[in-house]
Chain A
Amino acid sequence: MQSKPLTLTLLDALSIIVLGVATYLALFFAPTERVMGEVQRVFYFHIGTAWTALMGFILAAVFSVAYLATKNLKWDRYQVAAVEVSLVFFFLTIVLGSIWARPAWNTWWTWDPRLTTAAVTELIYIAYFMLRQGIDDPERRARFGAVYALIGGLSAPVTFFAIRLFRTIHPVVIGGANAEAQGGFAMTADMRVAFFFALFAFTIIFIDLYWNRIRLGDLQDKVEQLKLKVTM
């Protein structure tokens, strides 16, 4: 039995700590935003989860290329782990966004480019898992998964760009001008602390979950291998 690496255990602990600190910073340390009030606080986690999920999806597309080029199943395990963790994180992003949108836009949901792209992206990666579920041969599953993650990873940004041809009401908080009209705001120094710490915290948590998921995949493989040995 392969024991859990010490670094991973430490990372688990660190994840819990940074999650606590990020929660504190977001809920208590950061000042209440003057227009939207308390609900604006979901913003920190909203961005934190969104950023890491998007990184994960980009990683998944990179692993597609790596797998198709090398046919090494290691990349497939990395990809599944990345998509799985990102799918959950992105779902959180959408839920947090909805909570914020209810008072800010007076609706849970609107068909704005970012929201629509988010929904489409979730559907793409759900389809990814449905595709994998229908295939028994692990090599074919990896090949098809890689092809689909590549096509999906390319089409999601194109979808975003396509919907942008229509008007958007989503605020651009970072690097956007004239955003206040739709619920944007200027960040104060304390808000920035909470914001950047949330980004940092979710990156750590993502890496931790991701690592654990890869380890789980490796262990699953081991179990399968041992099972085969027993039945042989």
Chain B
Amino acid sequence: MNITESRSASQPAPGSFLKAVSAVVWKDLQAEFRSRELFSAMLVFSLLIILIFNFALELDIKTRQSVTSGVLWATFAFAGTLGLNRSMAIEKDRGCMDGLLLAPVDRSAIYFGKVISNLAFMLIVEIIVLPVYSVLYNINLFQPGLLLVILLGSIGYAAVGTLLSAMSVQTRTRDILLPILLFPVVIPVILSAVKASGGYLEGLPFEEILSPLSLLIAYDIIFTAVAFMVFDNVVEE
């Protein structure tokens, strides 16, 4: 057994953590760019939600100003669960989750890899929805502040969503369970993101946007840290 023991010890080599994270992200993006299943589903679903809101809220010029941020975040939240569900189902279907777990990498590398690819899918969809919405309703949504809010909100959403989707795919009720688990605990994200986006759209001074913005950052940090700490418990038996 000398040969085996002289090989890498029980601790993985430094840098292997980032390599594993990027391997997971790259694998997800590669598969997705080929099939475009998840992406097209999220995008079409987003556009349909905006369409439904159009009828539900009668988005005339006056109401548009005040409800735009709400409509956007409702759209992102609903489309987001679709993506999270699918992204985790891919890992579950052919036993790939076991494949990931069998690799000699830290479980948190798997968690961060999945968070980053889920975040990437969300951001790509959002980047397409924004100009479409801008054109349809004649509102300029390309403001640096708003983009920052969307990034921060999506981070919090993906951080918690990835953890919860890893749980929900392992239950009998699978797909339908994720939104039920996720929505009540991401309310702080939705709430402060809507407030902050609305603030930017109405051109409020930065001081008034600061509090929802800092809450968003605090949520991202707290919940990413907690999810990172408990992820082992969700994937390991």
Contacts and interface: CB of A to CB of B under 8 A. Distances in A.
Is there any pair of Cβ atoms, one from A and one from B, under 8 angstroms apart in the complex? yes
Interface of A: 68, 120, 123-124, 127, 130-131, 133-136, 139-140, 143-144, 146-148, 150-152, 154-155, 158-159, 161-163, 165
Contacts of B226: 150-151, 154
Interface residues of B, number: 35
Interface of B: 160, 163-164, 167-168, 170-174, 177, 180-181, 183-188, 191-192, 195, 211-212, 215, 218-219, 222-223, 226-227, 230, 233-234, 237
A144 B186 CA distance: 18
Contacts, number: 92
Contact of A165 (B172, B183, B211): B211
A134 B172 contact: yes
B219 A158 contact: yes
Contacts of B177: 130-131, 134
B233 A146 contact: yes
Given A123-B184, A124-B185, A159 B191 contact: yes
A151 B185 contact: yes
Contacts of A154: 222-223, 226
Contacts of B164: 148, 151
B137 to A, nearest CB: 25
Nearest to A165: B211
Contact of B192 (A120, A130, A162): A162
Given A134-B173, A155-B184, A147 B167 contact: yes
Contacts of A131: 167-168, 171, 177, 181
Contacts of A140: 170, 237
Given A131-B171, A158-B222, A165-B212, A147 B234 contact: yes
A165 B211 CA distance: 8
User: Top 8 nearest A-B pairs by Cβ distance?
Assistant: A134-B171, A155-B185, A134-B173, A134-B172, A162-B188, A123-B184, A124-B184, A158-B188
Nearest to B233: A143
B170 A148 contact: no
Contacts of B192: 162, 165
A144 B170 CA distance: 10
Contacts of B163: 147, 151
Contacts of A165: 191-192, 195, 211-212, 215
